[in-house]
Structure 1
Amino acid sequence: MKIYHLSHTDLDGYACQFITHFYFKNVKFYNSNYGKEINDNFNAILSDIEKDENFEKAIILITDLNLSLSQCEEFDKICQEKKIKIFLLDHHQSGEECAKKYPWYLLDSKRSATKITYDFFSKICHTDLELSHFVDVVNAVDIWLNADENFELGKVFLGLVANAKEINRVMFKEIQVYYIFFLFERAIKFIGKENSHILLENAIHFIKKDFFMRNCDDTLANLISSFVVEKLGELKDEFGIEYGGHKGILTVNIGNTSIIGNDFLIKNPDYDFFIDVSSRKTLSFRANGKIDVSLMAKKLVGGGGHKNASGGLFSAYKDSSNYPYIKAQILDLIKSKELKKESKDVQAKELK
């Protein structure tokens, strides 16, 4: 049996996955906001299930996300056809119509999705005192029990997840989820202490440094940069693209483009350029003397800048949580410009 767990991108959503991870080890995690992103992730799950040799024992678990009726109808039909078990644990009242129609849609608006998930699995498996305390903290802030003794600590937990943007969830999905789990594991140790909310808030910087630390201490920003460059190096074949006979890498909302881009190119001399695309439709180009990215930016999106650092606006770009879809857009852009250039070259020869 393998569980494919799709959940929301906030404290309650990740806490549901933390509980699943506690009880089961054969789990793959996906995270989504509402709307089309849910469908994109569902399709990604189906693709992963089909690649699994034991796909007949697959279970799709959805938590802290309420679906529309059309999504329920589509998911239910597909799961029945493929004989995949699906169930949803949620607390959003807006899903009431779906819960009445589909028996796998379990809804309780009086508890957070985290508490629903814990109560569900603890009855099947076993209870755990430390985990139940964690659930109480999340529950207090998620359904806003401001008189609860756990409320103030819950607010710090809320910020802990909201500000955990150090690892890109589009490019490093698995790493990002386990980073959140690491933060939870450390934060749980503060539950029950006097002034726990203050103690945890003061400790967050050092907890994060512990995750990114390798051989020696440094600023958090430098540790994060080194970590990201290391992971990009490990996955560069997956993120690689080509332009004009030059090999490069494509990132998405990577942050600190100048530092990360330059560090990557220095540590990976077989790559000539670095492009980062942002949700704002901007493209940031970096090079290390092997290609003039100002010309590249000009040809691709009418941008420009310096030889080793340029930018531009890709107005037709459609943001997504799906990296292959994003990469396909950039590859199509490059291909369209190359075909346009070839067409002009042919026309010039004909005129001669």
Structure 2
Amino acid sequence: MKIYHLSHTDLDGYACQYIVNFYFKNVNFYNSNYGKEINDNFNNIIKDIQENMGENEKILLLITDLNLTLSQCKEFDEVCKEKDIKILLLDHHQSGLECMQKYSWYFLDNSRCAAKIVYDFFSKICFNDEKMKDFINIVNAVDIWLNKDKDFELGKVCLGLIANAKEINRVMFKKEHISYMFYLLDRAKTFIQKERSHILLDNALHFIKKDYFIKDNDDTLANLISKFIVEKLQDHKEEFTIFYENHKGLLTSNIGNTSIIGNEFLINNPDYDFFLDVSSKKTLSIRANGSLDVSLMAKKLVGGGGHKNASGGLFASFKDSTNYNYIKAQFIDLIKSKEIKKEENAQK
């Protein structure tokens, strides 16, 4: 059976996936906040299933730590029945009560965090693991706020660890992002049962992250992360490539540190003329290597501007998404619309 697992973007949500990854290996992981993002991820999952499903392969769509609306439940139920996909939701948010009462695949228990529900469910099917159980008790203590529990303080540090783990973009590098989250949870788990474990883990966070990103020579954490991201961009550059007026560029989304990462990528890839990042706030940040005046590019595309090699602007009609292909399609449409307008003006 192939599992497609959609979960929340906090400690509890990633812990759910950490458990599933412990018990099963044939799993694709997706992460979402609430609202429209859940629908976007669901559509991505269905698309991935259709493109990769083997003959007679059984599919389970597992949703954890996310409560759905009735309209979402209706849509998901209909699509999964039509495509013969089993669906199971394990959650603890009381706001999903009406959905649970209507759909048999919707399980709700507000006395436990979602990760504890997931662990209890799969440990009964597979086997019990005491170390995993201890870790899940820590997640449970902080997620449902048992502030008198002995595991609460360590849980708080773990909560911050995941909340601040923004080093690897989850839209651009889905597999690398989830691998990093599992690594952080692996390392956090080693502090269980140690005296003053919460303080020890808090003191170690910087070095835990450095251990993940360092390869050869030591450097600042920021430099190690930038080097890692540039390498991953190079690995995926064909997917992220766009063209503007016969100039070749790379399009990223919420990559961060655009000046450092963009310039380093352009130095390492001289066949690329520009590097463009679009943020959730609709802002564009463009860098170039001297072969393209990106201040003119920003002006033509969005009425922006700046310097020849460093410019930006506001892409007012941009709609953020967890689907990179949708983000890329919007920018390609923007470029095409300006090219069409330019041709129309030339004909007048």
The TM-score with structure 1 as length reference comes to 0.98
| 1:180-195 → structure 2 map (5 Å cutoff) | 180-195=181-196
Q: Secondary structure at the match of 2:167?
A: coil
The alpha carbon displacement at 1:271 in A equals 0.7
Cα distance in 2 between the residues matched to 1:206 and 1:267: 28
Deviation string, structure 1 residues 264-316 (Cα, Å, up to 9, x no partner): 00001111100000111110110001111011001001111111000111111
| 1:74-113 → structure 2 map (5 Å cutoff) | 74-113=75-114
Indicate the residue corresponding to 1:25 in structure 2.
25
| 1:340-351 → structure 2 map (5 Å cutoff) | 340-347=341-348
| Misfit runs of 4+, over 4 Å | none
Indicate the residue corresponding to 1:129 in structure 2.
130
Do structure 1's residue 47 and structure 2's residue 32 form an aligned pair?
no
The alpha carbon displacement at 1:320 in A equals 1.3
Do structure 1's residue 328 and structure 2's residue 334 form an aligned pair?
no
Indicate the residue corresponding to 2:242 in structure 1.
241
The alpha carbon displacement at 1:346 in A equals 1.5
Deviation string, structure 1 residues 63-113 (Cα, Å, up to 9, x no partner): 000000111111111111111000000000000111111111011000000
Indicate the residue corresponding to 1:350 in structure 2.
none
The alpha carbon displacement at 1:319 in A equals 1.2
Structure 1: runs of 5 or more not aligned? 348-352
The alpha carbon displacement at 1:324 in A equals 0.8
Indicate the residue corresponding to 1:154 in structure 2.
155
Q: Secondary structure at the match of 1:254?
A: coil
Indicate the residue corresponding to 2:146 in structure 1.
145
Q: Secondary structure at the match of 2:148?
A: coil
Percent of residue pairs bearing the same amino acid type: 71
Cα distance in 1 between the residues matched to 2:346 and 2:162: 53
Q: Secondary structure at the match of 1:222?
A: helix
Q: Secondary structure at the match of 2:199?
A: helix
Indicate the residue corresponding to 1:37 in structure 2.
37
Indicate the residue corresponding to 2:227 in structure 1.
226
Do structure 1's residue 290 and structure 2's residue 291 form an aligned pair?
yes
- The residue type paired with residue 54 of structure 1 is G
The alpha carbon displacement at 1:53 in A equals 3.5
Cα distance in 2 between the residues matched to 1:94 and 1:181: 28
Q: Secondary structure at the match of 1:6?
A: strand
Q: Secondary structure at the match of 2:110?
A: coil
Indicate the residue corresponding to 1:319 in structure 2.
320
Q: Secondary structure at the match of 2:67?
A: coil
The alpha carbon displacement at 1:51 in A equals 1.1
Indicate the residue corresponding to 2:206 in structure 1.
205
- The residue type paired with residue 213 of structure 2 is F
Indicate the residue corresponding to 1:167 in structure 2.
168
Deviation string, structure 1 residues 311-337 (Cα, Å, up to 9, x no partner): 111111111111111111111110000
Cα distance in 1 between the residues matched to 2:304 and 2:203: 43
Deviation string, structure 1 residues 157-205 (Cα, Å, up to 9, x no partner): 0000000000111111111111000000011000100000000000010
Indicate the residue corresponding to 1:8 in structure 2.
8
Cα distance in 2 between the residues matched to 1:291 and 1:276: 16
Q: CA RMSD in A?
A: 0.7
The alpha carbon displacement at 1:345 in A equals 1.4
- The residue type paired with residue 320 of structure 2 is D
Cα distance in 2 between the residues matched to 1:62 and 1:150: 26
Cα distance in 1 between the residues matched to 2:260 and 2:4: 35
The TM-score with structure 2 as length reference comes to 0.99
Q: Secondary structure at the match of 2:60?
A: strand
Deviation string, structure 1 residues 111-142 (Cα, Å, up to 9, x no partner): 00000000000000000011001100000000
Q: Secondary structure at the match of 1:164?
A: coil
Cα distance in 1 between the residues matched to 2:175 and 2:263: 25
Q: Secondary structure at the match of 1:316?
A: coil
Q: Secondary structure at the match of 2:44?
A: helix
State which drifts further: 67-76 or 53-62.
53-62
| Equivalent pairs, count | 347
Cα distance in 1 between the residues matched to 2:301 and 2:30: 32
Cα distance in 2 between the residues matched to 1:51 and 1:322: 16
